[in-house]
Amino acid sequence: MSPLRQSLLAARANLGPGLVLQFFAAAIVAAYYLHGPSRAVLERIAAFRGEVGLPFAIVSTAMFGAVIPFAVLRLSKAALGRQTLGQIAALTAFWGYKGVEVSILYDVQARVFGEGRDFTTIAAKSLVDQFVYCPLVAVPATWLVYAWVERRFDWAAVKAEIRRPGWYARCVLPLMVANWGVWVPAVAIIYILPTALQLPLQNIVLCFFTLLVIFLTRRTADRPA
């Protein structure tokens, strides 16, 4: 299957669930601005995050990026839930680190572009997030870690995959297209919230996206070399 076709199939498969997730994220944002009790609950979460600091980002992102998706796969008895404890530990550590990275990204963007909810501010943050940070850093690193984990920590197999011609187009591009299908609308919604609440909402979206990453990286891991 060509990289372009694989990317289009990933985008099509992701469309329905992505729309549901984006609607859910939009509902949270609407509740924050339109429903007093919901706003009070979310502000308590923001205050707690401010008190805890980076440990909140580490634990929360690790839970939503690794622990909860693993539990979902196990409870559903899905074939994709066959990770060992070592694999889960590696992914938990990876997402804990990513929590710090994303938290810093949001804080830096708030300083550079401000915390306004106008179109220009949200568009600027979304463009940097999805068309600079993701293609250059986030998505290649995510593919790399998941490919390494899905190959039972066989770094030689990962290097062999990378050395094959067209690695980015074959492996990263389908994941990048799937990423855009979920995250381009999602980050535009996320950036409407105050900075302190952006990471918690991102974590909810992340929980779904990591399930998609597992499907895509295992597909390439199971393919004969």
pLDDT of residue 2: 63
Question: Total structural domains in the chain?
Answer: 1
Spatial distance between the Cα atoms of 33 and 12, rounded to a whole number of angstroms = 32
What would the pLDDT profile of 82-94 be if each residue is shown by its tens digit? Answer: 678 888 899 999 9
Most confident of 18-27, 83-92, 173-182, 183-192: 183-192
What would the pLDDT profile of 10-61 be if each residue is shown by its tens digit? Answer: 666 666 666 777 888 999 999 999 999 999 999 999 999 999 999 999 999 9
Range 116-138 average pLDDT? 96
Residues contacting 179, CB < 8 A, separation 6+:
130, 134, 138, 139, 209
pLDDT of residue 104: 96
Spatial distance between the Cα atoms of 209 and 197, rounded to a whole number of angstroms = 19
CA 193 to chain centroid: 18
Q: DSSP assignment of 156-224, as one string? A: HHHHHHHHSTTHIIIIIHHHHHHHHHHHHHHHHHHTTS-HHHHHHHHHHHHHHHHHHHHHHHHHHHHS-
Spatial distance between the Cα atoms of 66 and 88, rounded to a whole number of angstroms = 7
Q: Which two tokens stand for residue 162?
A: 């990378």
Helix axes 195-222, 173-190, angle to 10 degrees: 160
Q: Residue 144: which domain range?
A: 3-222
